[in-house]
Amino acid sequence: MSTRPAIIEGVHNLLGHHMRNKRGKTGWPAEDAITLKPQEPWNATCAGATLLNSNTPLQFTQQDGELVLQTKGVVPDPVVSVVRLTMKMSK
């Protein structure tokens, strides 16, 4: 998942794009979750996760440096699914 931060009043919105194409992009993961583990520790707490294609909120857990998005039953877009993570920055 690629991410691009957008800073809005101390809140970062990370956009992750899941694409499927003929050049090797595999699309939505087959598992019932997407696990994000940054190379460096998060300096923020996730306040929300949303599948933007359908404006569907995603359940998530954040623990021990990992953020796990629950995707069971979520229907992805056939071409690209965009997940927005709303991150509250730590002080």
Residue 83 belongs to domain with CATH number: 2.60.40.1180
Q: What is the number of structural domains in the chain?
A: 1
- Comparing CA positions, the residue from 16, 3, 26, 2 lying closest to residue 79 is 26
Which residue range is the domain that position 63 belongs to? 2-89
* Contact status, residue 84 vs residue 52, Cβ threshold 8 Å: yes
C-alpha distance across the termini of the chain, in Å = 27
pLDDT at position 23 is: 65
Per-residue pLDDT reduced to its tens digit, 43-83: 788 889 998 888 899 999 998 878 898 988 888 777 778 88
Cα–Cα distance for residue pair 88/43, rounded to 1 Å: 9
Per-residue pLDDT reduced to its tens digit, 5-18: 444 445 566 666 66
